[in-house]
Amino acid sequence: MSIKFSRFARPTLLLITSLILCYFSQAARLPNFVIIMADDLGYGDVGYQGSDVPTPNIDSIASEGVRFTNGYVTCPVCAPSRAGLLTGRYQQSFGFWDNTGPFRINKLVEPGIPTNLPILSERLKSLGYTTGFFGKSHDGRAESMMPFNRWDKFFGFNNGASNFIGDMNRKHNPIFRDKKIVSKPYEDRGINKKNVIIKGVIQRDNENYLTDQIGDQAAQFINDNKDWPFLCYVPFNAVHGPFQSTQEIYDKYASKADHERAMVMAMLDSMDNNIGKIIDALDQNSLVENTLIIFLSDNGGHEFSPNDPLKGKKATFWEGGLRVPFCMQWSGKISPNSLYSKPIISLDIMPTVIAAAGGDIDPNWQLDGVNLLPFIDESISGAPHEALYWSWGSRKAIRKGNLKAVSLNSGKTFELYDLHKDMVESNNIAKQHPEKLQNMIEEHSKWEAKLMPQQWGWDKKLGYKDPNFGKPEAYHDPEYIIH
């Protein structure tokens, strides 16, 4: 049966068709975004900053774009740091001071990023983007906070850590593909873990190595969405413990370092290979020139991932805990082999991405980050931030210009360092500049006064202890009815 349109309807039909084609054309021109986050990767543990592990794919992002030598995160441990990145706000402003733990201020508090505070995926969905999350989430256990409810596609886990073969995890920490659990616990199948892994070296099921699965899923997402604007967020769990590697990659490094370092070297090698898969997917689909790629770590490295030449490591407020590998590539928009030395922070990712997507930043969002693009191309002079702030447990810090004030005893005393002259924080100049230090302390106190009190974490003083912490949730049941 054929359908005939009257001569009056034809112009309307042509107009509608034209508008649809215009919409699709505009959508195709919107830039894509790939944000890759390593876990516990040290400042000095990438090739372009002197690592003893080749990281050619990470290095390519730095060499084809801009390398931030003073790139920071908002906390030296993972969950608060990730919350800051995903919201563009200091996470303490909504009570997210610590990793999600068993204690909270009362029974009604749900630890995590509240669902009434839009995260990056939700901001971009409103601009017509498809969003995918591949890797580690640690931003709330309530079902409504899970990535499968805040992103279009999800593959990964929701916990502080995972085995690199997901079937080794306990039931409260499964591997998800969207809402479906795809891991099959060895304990349910009567398989002894001693037959699966020996001193961190995996003996079977190597095809399920989690880093490879994350890379494959992210690359597939790019292939599936090549015709539409997308946000691909890839928070790997490498090189966080437990230290586990396939035999093949471990053997490359076994003779080069002690066992723990060799294991981390193998994990980093694997992560870089999988970052290569993601870049290859962009290249094969002719998307590189229309994609903003960002790489960073969630915090400083642990004791087996060097932070050279910085002092300190993960969980400290020295530079080695807060300053991380951080680089950004956008062909044609960011000049290759660029170096940016003014302090920036992971909070800047949200406004940079929104601006690049053509969106407007509503002041009511109260973002703490800034759009970095005009600073990188020098269309705006000056520094992106007047000051950067940190507070976690008994630790406090503020960086203003080249000066950084640090307290390790809840603000009772502060040390002061000139990071331009002393990036290793070896020369405390507090006595030489008491007035400058006092001004910085007062500024930090004013910032802290605006924050929401801590709502949950590992501090017993918070009061209420969740009796179900660490136990399976309803949605951890493979037979759970998806609704």
DSSP code per residue over 453-474: PP-EES-GGG-EE-TTTTSPPG
Amino acid at residue number 358: G
d(CA 312, CA 151): 35
**Per-residue pLDDT at 317:** 98
Helix, strand, coil content of the chain in percent (nearest 5) = 35, 20, 45
Please provide the size of the chain in residues. Answer: 483
Mean pLDDT of 285-298: 98
- Position 6 scores a pLDDT of 53
Average pLDDT on 34-53 reads: 98
pLDDT of residue 23 exceeding 50, the answer is: no
Average pLDDT on 90-97 reads: 98
Mean pLDDT of 148-175: 97
pLDDT band at 433 (very low <50, low <70, confident <90, very high): very high
Share of the chain above pLDDT 90, in %: 92
**What angle, 0 to 180 degrees and rounded to 10, lies between the N-to-C axes of helices 259-284 and 56-63?**
50
Q: Is the pLDDT of residue 117 over 80?
A: yes
On the question of pLDDT at 380 being above 90, the answer is yes
Contact 287, 32 (CB under 8 A): yes
Confidence tier at 10 by pLDDT (50, 70, 90): low
Peptide bond into 242 cis (omega under 30): yes
Mean pLDDT of the region 345-352: 98
Prediction pTM value: 0.94
Is pLDDT of 93 > 70? yes
Q: What is the pLDDT of residues 189-202, one digit of tens each?
A: 999 989 999 999 99
430-447 mean pLDDT: 98
Q: What is the pLDDT of residue 3?
A: 46
Cα–Cα distance measured from residue 173 to residue 379, given in angstroms and rounded to the nearest whole number: 47
Cα 72 versus chain centre, distance: 12
Both tokens assigned to 481: 């009815």
Q: What is the pLDDT of residue 1?
A: 45
Tokens of 202: 């995996």
Arithmetic mean of pLDDT, 296-318: 98
- Please check the confidence at residue 182 and state whether its pLDDT lies above 90: yes
Question: Helices 349-356 & 78-87, crossing angle to 10 degrees?
Answer: 30
Instruction: Give the mean model confidence (pLDDT) for residues 374-392.
Output: 96
Which pLDDT belongs to residue 479?
86
Give 7's pLDDT tier (boundaries 50, 70, 90).
Answer: low
> What's the mean pLDDT in 340-347?
98
Q: In angstroms, rounded to a whole number, what is the distance separating the alpha carbons of residues 179 and 134? A: 13
Q: Give the Cα separation of 141 and 110 in Å (integer).
A: 8
For the stretch 52-66, pLDDT in tens is: 999 999 999 999 999
What is the rounded distance in angstroms from the CA atom of residue 341 to the CA atom of residue 67? 8
pLDDT of residue 2: 46
- Arithmetic mean of pLDDT over the chain: 94
Q: How far apart are CA 215 and CA 135, in angstroms?
A: 9
> Stretch 433-461: mean pLDDT, rounded?
97
Structural domains for the chain: 31-385+453-476 (3.40.720.10), 386-452 (3.30.1120.10)
pLDDT greater than 50 at residue 340:
yes
The pLDDT confidence band at residue 29, using thresholds 50, 70 and 90, is: confident
The answer, yes or no, to whether residue 22 has pLDDT greater than 60, is no
Please say if the pLDDT value at position 11 is more than 90. no
* Those residues with Cβ within 8 angstroms of residue 234's Cβ, 6 or more apart along the chain or in another chain: 34, 35, 36, 37, 134, 135, 214, 215, 218, 275, 278
Per-residue confidence at 243, pLDDT binned at 50, 70, 90?
very high
For residue 19, what pLDDT band results from cuts at 50, 70 and 90?
very low
Name the token pair of 373.
């693009």
